[in-house]
Amino acid sequence: MALFCVALDIDSKEKFELIFGETSEFVDIYKIGPVILSSCGLEPLERLTQLKKDIFVDLKFFDIPSVVCRAIRNFCEFNSKFFTVHISAGEKIFRSAVEEASKFQAYVAGVTLLTSSDYDENLILSMAEKAKIWGASWVVCPPVFARKIKENLELKIISPGIRIDKNEKDDHSLSLTPCEAVKQGVDMIVVGRPVIFSENPKIVAQKIKREI
């Protein structure tokens, strides 16, 4: 069964508490990124850790190895289990991040290309292959590429941009529904707007959990 991750791209502590309270019984892991960190600071990390919820830190690191490793180390003071690093950052940065995360039983997921980009399947596969060679067991990619990557490279797949309505794509160019993504072999679906902007996030989260 795929993991269900909610992207907490929200702008206030009150909204965080609302979304968490409504969805926590259905969600396996929460994604923390630049939006919530810049609006709420470390408080959501502290709260999720206190409540023993797993955290996915999605900052798509692309910096010198020492800075990336220090950041991972600091985030692992909380219940952080996943980190994103751009595969295009290169071997030295990527391998260092994988090694640092492993010290805390955490994982680095290699970012192939952003889901708002135009895609070249061969490029996606090439990037994923590099991530595997450099020590990753997870990559981030659109769900339509999941099956091919798993068959060729035996990597686990994280797919963002999952949408409840097939016609609602926003700035994600290759989105699928939760059920469709799981059929493609996705191991972790990341859902943001359909949950956090819903009038009833609890019902949406429950529906998604049942689908996967």
Q: Which residues are catalytic?
A: 60
Rounded (10°) angle between helices 201-211 and 13-23: 50
Among 117, 107, 104, 175, CA closest to 146: 175
Among 24, 18, 61, 60, CA closest to 40: 18
Asked whether 204 and 166 are in contact (CB, 8 A), the reply is no
Here the tokens at position 129 are 């292959």
* Count of beta carbons in the 10 Å neighbourhood of residue 190: 22
To the nearest 10°, the Cα dihedral for 85, 87, 93, 98?
60
Q: Assign 110 to helix, strand or coil.
A: strand
Strands (E) located in 87-186? 107-111, 138-140, 156-159
Here the tokens at position 8 are 């907490």
Among 84, 11, 83, 77, CA closest to 48: 77
